[in-house]
């Protein structure tokens, strides 16, 4: 099984880059399933019906989320009706949506679990316990399991990866929007990268226009963050997994800069 996973997609520039590059990358890497973190897809924060449909239409099979899951009002109903969108599994009981899903990948199945970190983040349930409780149920269906750990602290992402080494196929980190160069397979067979990076404007601060972010740092005053424009950095990983054992065979980090003049009007 071959998994293509894109880092956080930022607004319209990121969505356009995905639609543009996917045909070429599908031909180059032949993925069985394509996953992307989509919590910043709608004007840089949250997700909407229109944006989700656009990304699924471009070829994405599964979207994971994070701390901006409910930043758009319509997300609550969207998550109830769309099992291809996975929100953090360690949200409190009763929160709408699906914390994990099992999806067709070639002639096998892949389970995708979304987990939210707790260090330097908003309160959430224990990701270690929530994931451990889910594994027996999931393993009755498939040994191929991927965690998207949406977390601020590199130590927390690494801790989750080491704790579940040999029990799942891969742990990919998201949220910090900067691709790390530490991709590897841990001793017991779990692939890991601290952060996949983003699909968003390169001339930016984490995909956002620099002026608004700088204002907040320099003055501590409230500032509106808007998606930047210009060339887009596309960050992803390709993970190869043994279909039977669920253990990773290889993880490859990908980064490409795409020339772009796409801007985000902030409406979706």
Instruction: Look at residue 49 in the predicted model and tell me its pLDDT.
Output: 97
Calpha distance 268→255 (Å, rounded): 26
95-106 per-position pLDDT tens digit = 999 999 999 998
CATH number of the domain at 2-258, out of 2.30.110.10, 3.60.21.10, 1.10.600.10, 1.10.940.10? Answer: 3.60.21.10
- pTM equals 0.97
Query: Is 268's pLDDT higher than 80?
Result: no
177 is catalytic: no
Beta-bridge mates of residue 42: none
Can you give the residue ranges of every domain in the chain? 2-258
Using a 10 angstrom Cβ sphere, with 0-12 exposed, 13-18 middle and 19 or more buried, the burial of residue 57 is exposed
CA 148, chain centre distance (Å): 6
Calpha distance 224→213 (Å, rounded): 8
217-244 per-position pLDDT tens digit = 999 998 889 999 999 999 999 999 999 9
Instruction: Look at residue 216 in the predicted model and tell me its pLDDT.
Output: 94
Beta-bridge mates of residue 232: 201, 258
Long-range contacts made by residues 126-134, C-beta under 8 angstroms, separation at least 24? 126/90, 127/89, 127/90, 127/160, 128/160, 128/163, 130/89, 130/90, 130/99, 131/89, 131/90, 131/160, 131/164, 134/89, 134/99, 134/100
In this prediction, residue 187 has a pLDDT band, given cuts at 50, 70 and 90, of very high
55-90 per-position pLDDT tens digit = 999 999 999 999 999 999 999 999 999 999 999 999
Q: Which of 16, 68, 150, 175 is catalytic?
A: 68
Mean pLDDT, all residues of the chain: 96
Query: Is 41's pLDDT higher than 70?
Result: yes
Can you list the alpha helix ranges (DSSP code H) found in the chain? 11-29, 49-58, 75-81, 127-139, 154-163, 210-219
128-182 per-position pLDDT tens digit = 999 999 999 999 999 999 999 999 999 999 999 999 999 999 999 999 999 999 9
């Amino acid at each position: 099984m071959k998994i293509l996973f894109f880092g956080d997609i930022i607004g319209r520039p990121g969505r356009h880059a995905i639609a543009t590059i996917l045909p070429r990358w599908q031909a180059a890497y032949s993925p069985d399933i394509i996953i992307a973190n989509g919590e910043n897809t709608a004007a840089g924060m949250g997700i909407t019906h229109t944006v989700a449909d656009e990304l699924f239409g471009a070829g994405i099979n599964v979207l994971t989320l994070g701390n901006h899951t409910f930043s758009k009002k319509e997300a609550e109903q969207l998550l109830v009706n769309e099992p291809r969108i996975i929100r953090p599994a360690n949200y409190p009981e009763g929160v709408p949506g699906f914390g994990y899903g099992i999806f067709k990948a070639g002639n096998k199945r892949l389970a995708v679990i979304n987990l939210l970190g707790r260090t330097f983040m908003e309160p959430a349930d224990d990701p270690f316990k929530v994931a451990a409780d889910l594994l027996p149920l999931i393993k009755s269906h498939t040994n191929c399991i991927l965690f998207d750990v949406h977390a601020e602290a590199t130590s927390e992402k690494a801790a989750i990866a080491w704790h579940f080494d040999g029990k799942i196929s891969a742990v990919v980190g998201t949220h910090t929007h900067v691709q790390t160069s530490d991709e590897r397979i841990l001793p017991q067979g779990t692939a890991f990268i601290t952060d996949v990076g983003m699909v968003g404007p390169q001339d930016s601060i984490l995909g956002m226009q620099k002026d608004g972010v700088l204002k907040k740092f320099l003055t501590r005053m409230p500032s509106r963050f808007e998606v930047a424009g210009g060339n887009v950095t596309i960050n992803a990983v390709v993970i190869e997994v043994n279909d039977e054992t669920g253990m990773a065979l290889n993880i490859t980090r990908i980064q490409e800069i795409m020339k772009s003049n796409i801007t985000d009007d902030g409406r979706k």
